Amino acid sequence: QPELGKPMRNCYSLPGPDFTYGMYMHKRDGGVAEAIGHWDSVKAKPHKRVMPRDFVAMGRAAVDEGCTTAREFALYYKYMDIRCKDKGILRYGGKAPPGMTFGRPPRPSTPFFDIMQHRFKELWMEEQRARTKVQYVVKKKVGTIGEVRENRTTFLRTHPLPAKEESFWHLQRFEKVWAPHSPSPDQSQLFWAS
């Protein structure tokens, strides 16, 4: 029971003097003297990257072998393990392949003799002449630019449609009829039949 007017005491008994708080490392824990005395260097292990499987290459090879069903493809993938090639081999500390050069290749030397003889101008003129011939042939096939093509409007202007003959036929209910109660047609009273 807590004492009256005082907070409740939550106390636990501490472990003895031989208890170590934290994590105890048996191999390295030599204290400050060992830490100052020498460096604990870790030797780097050679790391071999495992590349993912190249399913595109495996699929092509399976088709070349004559696999057609899904089961045959699965068996082929199980026994033929083709991996992707490591394109960043130089990035991860590999050696450069023999005969590999870095940078851009040099541009070819300028043919000085062709410059002296104006050979480039002659080649350009030949290209322009050939282009002009092609344009002339295309224009000849299509027709001249000033010529107007025949369309519906121009055809109707030259060949007008025949005039419509007016039809005098009307529905019977709209015909003028003599009223039945009139004695004679002299009265000129006309009624529209409904």
Q: Is the pTM of this model over 0.75?
A: no
3-class secondary structure, 47? coil
Kindly tell me if the per-residue pLDDT of 14 is higher than 50.
yes
* Token pair recorded at residue 20: 């170590």
* Token pair recorded at residue 74: 């699965």
Picking from 100, 96, 99, 60, the residue whose alpha carbon sits closest to that of residue 80 is 60
Q: What is the dihedral of CA 159, 165, 171, 176, to 10 degrees?
A: 150
Tens of pLDDT, residues 144-186: 555 667 888 888 888 888 888 777 777 777 766 665 655 555 4
Higher pLDDT, 114 or 2: 114
pLDDT recorded at residue 26:
63
Picking from 107, 50, 53, the residue whose alpha carbon sits closest to that of residue 83 is 53
- Return phi, psi of residue 192, to 5°: -80, 130
